[in-house]
Structure 1
Amino acid sequence: MSTFTILGLDDVPVPHPARIKELVSGNEQPLPVEKEYLGSVLRQGPSALSTLDTQISQGHEALISLQRQRKEAEAIIRDAQFILHPIRSICSEILLEIFSWCVYDAYNVKDVSKTVQCLNPRHPPWTISHVSRRWRNITLACSMLWSNIALDLDQYEVIDTSDRVYMFQLGLYLNRSRGCDLSVSLCSDYCLETHPVMGLLEAGISQWRNLNIGLCPSTVKTLGENVFPLLRRLEVTSFVLFQENEKTVLTAPELRIFISRCNDMACSLLGIPWKQLEMFSCCNASNRHCVEVLRQLSSAKSLNLTVHKMNNLDLADGAIVIPFVKTLEFEERKCEGVMARLLNSLTLPSITFLSLTFPKLSVSTFPTTFDASTTLTSLSINCDLSHANNSTLFLVFLKSTPNVTVLRLSAAGIPNNVLHGLTLMEGKDSLLPSLLVLKIAPGVPLCEVKLFIGMLESRCTEDEDDNKKGSGSDSYSCGSIQEPLNEETSGRRKLKQLRFQQPELGELRQLNSEDQRRWDTLCSSLEILYNFESF
């Protein structure tokens, strides 16, 4: 509907808009026809405005009604989406599996003081139990979700949490664990013998399966007065012990794993059943107390040792024999030569995996009398081969490991003499003749490309004697590379895999046409993989 229709001027001649502007801007008198039009406007105007106001009001009410209906429709759609959301139809078993990945593993930490506090209501499992009634029922019904207890007791002193609230939360948490095996992580710089939380924790000590402690000696001694019938893993982290403290004897018949971090006195002040341990880790293996413990590890299968302090290494009592150790990871952070001395004193007749890590910009002293020539099949070396005489020492050590099938080499650069040493040639003593897998970290090392390709080519060529013997190399699989070699496969074997740790560093660059052709040929016969983390 036009404005003229509303004003009732459909039958009245309407002047041109330009004429109206001319009359408005000047003092000229309108023509009689124009006067008739203007008079009609004044007579019909108020009625027309009233009609428009009524229509505007009706339109506004209609708009409000439509907006309200839209909001109602949105709410209905949102409710339907919420009700039919896939997560609401997930069965309880799958939800429980998802929830278990949300819960913090108190025993799987390196620094107990940085754990997520189990009583923090802003973290699982507390948060999960407040999402919905169904989630709450699932959370409360599963004691496993409440099996990780991590407490930094000093933190609650700082925020001035009352003992009553603290004890109530912990009691509720323990009650929800309901007999489940517990992983407990405790940290405090103060003596807690009389702290009310200790009594509450000790009441459930029969459930402790994993224990990670960063406590003062007197508190540890108080804990040691209990029996730990299920304790399997003990980790001592970041607390200061003094030699004048009395030894704390822990009664833990099921203990199999012991880890000492940042504290080389733990071995001296903790009396535990060393002979039954299967895994032992010490932050300073050159400590005399650690050496004494090593002599008692008659059941150990895995060792993780570090040297970072200069100690008077006492090996006067002869060789250290650990008959069942299969895995040894050794890191030297300081004190050049100490790791080699300790390795030379070890007799490990069952070892299959050895990892040696040397500090950067230092001489890498390899063991000379450590004998693993028969059983060792996997070797990891992390050292600066370009420093001093390290490359020569490395090659000499490889002569004592003829049965290694997997080599992991972490080095920024590989000198030419190492590439020459690893290249198989007729009339030359072969290093690592049984090598099947070569892992290089982080990627393609700084080296002479032609020599690197030549070394790989020499190891990808079938050996005629092996073909005649039918050594079975074609049946190679990743799952069998760490098994000791038998007499039938003692000859030279063909390299099967080349692995780089970082994909972006796994390409050879700036190759000429001939080298590119050789590399392409290798890629067609050699399995090249990227992005590995460990053995």
Structure 2
Amino acid sequence: MPDPIATCPQCGFHLYTASADTESAHTNHELLPASIEYFLRNNESPPESGDLLDIQTLLHQAENASADLESQISQMKESIRRLTFQRERITANIQAYRTVLHPIRRLPADIILEIFDWCVSVQSIEPDSVVLDNPELKLPGLRVVQSLHSVHPPWNLGQVSRNWRNIALSSPKLWSSVSIFLRTTHPSASIQRRVELSQVSLLSIYLTRSHDYPLSVYINSLHAEHPLLSMIYAQSHRWRNAVLYLPVETLRNLSFSIKGALPMLRTLLLSVTRDPGACNTAQENWENVITGDVVIDAFQYAPSLKCLAISQIPSFPTLFTMPWDQLLRFECNLKSQAHQLSENSMNLHILRSAHKLQMAMFRCCHKPILDFDNLQPIRHTHLHTLNLFSVMDSNPAIPHIGQLLDIVTLPTLCHLSIHTQRRELDACDTVLRFIERSDPKNLRVLLLNDMPMSVEATQNLLKIIPSVEHLGLSGVTDEVIRTMCWSGSNTTGVRDLTTSDTPASASDSGVILPKLRRLAFYGSESLSVNQRKLLGMIESRRSITAAVSGSLIVDMGQDGGGLQDSLTTPAMLERVEVSRKYNFSDSDTVLRLDRLVDEGLTLDQR
């Protein structure tokens, strides 16, 4: 009779339960008989009597037992395989349940839209050092990702679910930043045509989805003519911010496409592109295209334009007709040979024309024939932020920046940044006269990079800028460090400074730079400053509030006469910027520096 079948109540495995005799037989074959062990220890053959028959019987029984066990093992493996498969299906279902119940599927549409906005967010082109409270002065962010690639947002945001697609298509803002790159030319006209047709189709869909939302446009093209350019120009009435890198031929003919159709344009950045494989130079190409009678008035009627930036465009004020009287911010970054056709006469022309200008950045280039005797000085009452760069010049005797500053007065100046590039001689005297001529008590930020100054000139400068909160200097010496020390403090570093052989200066009254919070040292000369003296000055200005014990610094008038109505509470130095090559090697200095950092000082070594 076959053995009875037993079924596992948990896994359903069918087990053929062996009888007592079968189980005993399996057990008996697990041990080798002694007679067999005897024959294994020698080379004798079994006798041809009944013992041989018994051994053959044992062999057949062992083979049957092994086959029976192999059958049971196969059944168990099949059960394990079946159970493993069932477990994997259940595990997959568990993951499916969790996926369906994921909180992101239940997010409100406004939260999803906020996430989408971050996915297509733009990159700010505003320098980190510029902090603006007036939103009209801020430069726009740029999204320099090809808008015609469907693998990028916002295209791929609608490829997740029907709900996400509906949200993406219902928000014109997601489609309001258009970036077009046209810098390649295909080898055959047929391929070029197919590519253009595909691009036109995608851009048409993109613009349709933006509805009537104001556009931020970024175009970088080497093509003077292209179907995509015409499509973008047709939407100029929706331009809010425009960044245009175009060939000079396109700029020349731009008036025919967008003139009088820029009612919303607030910020404009213009630059010239040139095919790097062209045989002629950029200046030769410019002179061939822009003749003496060319005037570009494409942006003449842009009633909302407030911010303008240009690059690589010489003689801009005479070439372009702009609404200068409404501009609040202007930046000019002329490179290579472009400055040779512009010079400081262009900067002065802009300062005279843009009388509402509040922020300006100029690249200065000396104009030899500028007639100072017959030139009317410029007093600009609105310009509060001025950034100046001199052109790269091997002759430090040429006053690129000095020529401009000698003509200009800015009574509301708050931020002045100067980078002389080639260390102009006598530039510091010009800067001192300019600051004194303007109202130095309004000055909050003063950055003088690569400008050599004597100790006496530096001390004179520090005395006339009591309201400066952020100061950057080049060529700092130990004497300048001592001048900047807050002498009312009683720190170790101050005692070291005051007991030095350096004679006392007029700064020892302790009122130099009472509002200073951020200090930067530029140039290789600053690397030679004594680290103990530098740290002593920092410690004195970190303990400044305790040193004065709540007293107030009386702000004197410029003439040294009567007291002003306002009293100034001294500020604590919060941030110091030095070169990464400046090494604090002394062990005592390192310990003191670590303590200052632990107490909140920010040390920036770049």
Fold shared, TM-score > 0.5 on shorter chain = yes
Indicate the residue corresponding to 2:350 in structure 1: 293
SS in 2 for 1:209: strand
User: Could you tell me how far apart the structure 2 residues matched to 1:17 and 1:356 are?
Assistant: 106
Is 1:247 matched up with 2:309? Answer: no
Q: Given the superposition, is the C-alpha separation of residues 214 and 400 from structure 1 closer, same or farther in structure 2, using an over 3 Å criterion?
A: farther
Of 409, 424, 427, the match for 2:472? 409
1:376 and 2:434 correspond: no
Partner of 1:355: 417
SS at match of 2:98: helix
More off after superposition, 401-410 vs 208-217? 401-410
Partner in structure 1 of residue 163 of structure 2: 134
Which moved further from structure 2: 217-226 or 500-509? 500-509
Is the 2:296–2:319 Cα contact (8 Å) retained in structure 1? Answer: yes
Paired amino acid for 1:115:
V
Give the whole-Å Cα distance in 1 for the aligned partners of 2:571 and 2:550: 14
Q: Deviations over 1:430-455 (max 9, x none)?
A: 38443331333699965213322443
8 A contact 1:264–1:287 mirrored in 2: no
User: Is 1:237 matched up with 2:271?
Assistant: yes
Task: Tell me the equivalent position of 1:89.
Answer: 106
In structure 2, the CA distance between the partners of 1:496 and 1:364, relative to structure 1 (3 Å rule), is: farther
CA distance in 2, matches of 1:79, 1:521: 55
Q: Report the equivalent of 1:164.
A: 197
Q: CA deviation at 1:223?
A: 3.1
For the residue of structure 2 that corresponds to 1:435, the secondary structure is: coil
Q: Which moved more, 1:258-267 or 1:339-348?
A: 258-267
User: In 2, distance between residues paired with 1:29 and 1:465?
Assistant: 116
2:9 maps to which residue? none
Measured in 2, the distance between the counterparts of 1:390 and 1:219 equals 46
Q: Which runs of 5+ in 2 are unaligned?
A: 1-16, 128-140, 274-281, 335-341, 489-503, 556-562
Equivalent residue number for residue 116 of structure 1: 145
**3-state SS of the aligned residue for 1:235?**
strand
Residue 370 of structure 2 is aligned with which of 311, 314, 317?
314
Question: Cα deviation per residue 1:195-244 (whole Å; 9 max; x = unaligned)?
Answer: 33333223321100111111123322443232211001110124364442
Greater Cα shift, 13-22 or 95-104: 13-22
Q: Contact 1:365–1:393 at 8 Å: present in 2 too?
A: no
Pair 1:528 & 2:601 matched:
yes
Q: What residue is the counterpart of 1:452 in the other structure?
A: 534
Could you say if the C-alpha distance between residues 277 and 57 of structure 1 is closer, same or farther in structure 2, counting changes exceeding 3 Å?
A: same
Displacement of 1:522? 7.2
Q: CA deviation at 1:125?
A: 0.7
- TM-aligned CA deviation for residue 508 of structure 1: 5.2
Aligned equivalent of 1:74: 91
Q: Using the TM superposition, give the Cα deviation of residue 271 of structure 1 relative to its aligned residue in structure 2, in angstroms.
A: 1.4
Distance 1:114-1:496 versus aligned 2 partners, 3 A rule: closer
Residue 189 of structure 1, aligned match among 222, 225, 249: 222
SS of aligned partner of 2:302: coil
Structure 1 stretch displaced more, 35-44 or 57-66:
35-44
Name the CA distance, whole Å, in 1 between partners of 2:571 and 2:304: 43
CA distance in 1, matches of 2:314, 2:381: 24
Secondary structure of 2:360 counterpart:
strand
* Residue 398 (1) aligns with residue 461 (2): yes
Match of 2:570 in 1: 494
Match of 2:362 among 302, 305, 308: 305
Secondary structure of 1:215 counterpart: strand
SS in 1 for 2:314: coil
Write the distance in 1 (CA, Å) between the matches of 2:423 and 2:54: 103
Q: Which of 130, 142, 146 is 2:175 aligned to?
A: 146
Aligned to 1:54: 71
Amino acid at match of 2:327: L
Residue identity opposite 1:369 in structure 2: R
Report what 1:219 is aligned to. Answer: 250
Deviation readout 1:287-307 (Å, 9 max, x if unpaired): 533331222110111112234
The DSSP-based 3-state class of the residue aligned with 2:203 is helix
In the TM superposition, residue 187 of structure 1 has moved relative to its aligned partner by 1.9
| Alpha-carbon shift at residue 37 of structure 1 (Å) | 5.7
Tell me: CA distance 1:157–1:177, structure 2 relative to 1, closer, same or farther (3 Å).
farther
Q: Does 1:256 align with 2:306?
A: yes
Q: TM-score, normalised by structure 2?
A: 0.71
C-alpha deviation, 1:124, in angstroms = 0.9
Larger deviation, residues 336-345 vs 275-284: 336-345
Alpha-carbon deviations, 1:65-112, whole Å to 9, x = none?
1221122122112213322333333322222222212215388499x9
Please report how far the alpha carbon of residue 262 of structure 1 lies from its aligned counterpart in structure 2 after TM superposition: 3.6
1:128, distance to aligned residue in structure 2 (A): 1.3
CA contact (8 A) 2:471 2:516 kept: no
Partners of 1:383 and 1:410 within 8 A in 2? yes
The answer on whether the counterparts of 1:274 and 1:296 sit within 8 Å (CA) in structure 2 is yes
Q: Kindly report the root-mean-square deviation, in angstroms, between the aligned alpha carbons of the 2 structures.
A: 4.3
Q: 1:152 to 1:212 in 2, by over 3 A?
A: same
Answer yes or no: is the 8 Å Cα contact 1:233–1:256 preserved in 2: yes
| Count of aligned pairs between the two proteins | 507
Q: Do 1:384 and 1:390's aligned partners in 2 also have CA atoms closer than 8 Å? A: no
Once the two structures are superposed, the pairs formed by residues 451-490 of structure 1 within 5 Å of their partners are 451-456=533-538, 459=541, 460-461=543-544, 487-489=564-566
1:340 and 1:397 mapped to 2: Cα distance?
Answer: 18
